[in-house]
Amino acid sequence: MKAICAAAMLAASTLPAFAGDIYIVRPNPYPSVDFSGMEDLGRNIRRGFERMQRENIGRLLAAGDYDGAAKAAYEAGMIETGMQIQALKQQHLREVRSAGSRPVSRQR
């Protein structure tokens, strides 16, 4: 007990003495911050990133870059999507080859 009192007296002696001053206690201008809205922050960031990846893959597909789209899908961890894009590329190549072997009719 004596040690606690001595520590309190030492701490009090290191503080400046303001004899006769009146301290006004004001309410805290910074109320406790509510972090409940931040629970989903990581999930929302991940969803936004995944949406950007899908948009990038879509742009590549729209431009006809099947290999780039498949690569982007694989890099994003979308293995099934990458495989489906490769299958779509093979289908597209078959259609182009079969269209190229057909005779083109000329109209006059």
Span 56-90, pLDDT tens digits: 999 999 999 999 999 999 999 999 999 999 999 99
Largest CA distance in the chain: 115
Are 69 and 61 spatial neighbours (Cβ–Cβ below 8 Å)?
yes
The pLDDT assigned to 108 comes to: 44
Chain CA centroid to CA 76, Å:
13
Which DSSP symbol is given to 33? P
93 pLDDT band, cuts 50/70/90, is: very high
The burial of 76, by beta-carbon neighbours within 10 Å (0-12 exposed, 13-18 middle, 19 or more buried), is given as middle
Instruction: Give the mean model confidence (pLDDT) for residues 20-28.
Output: 62
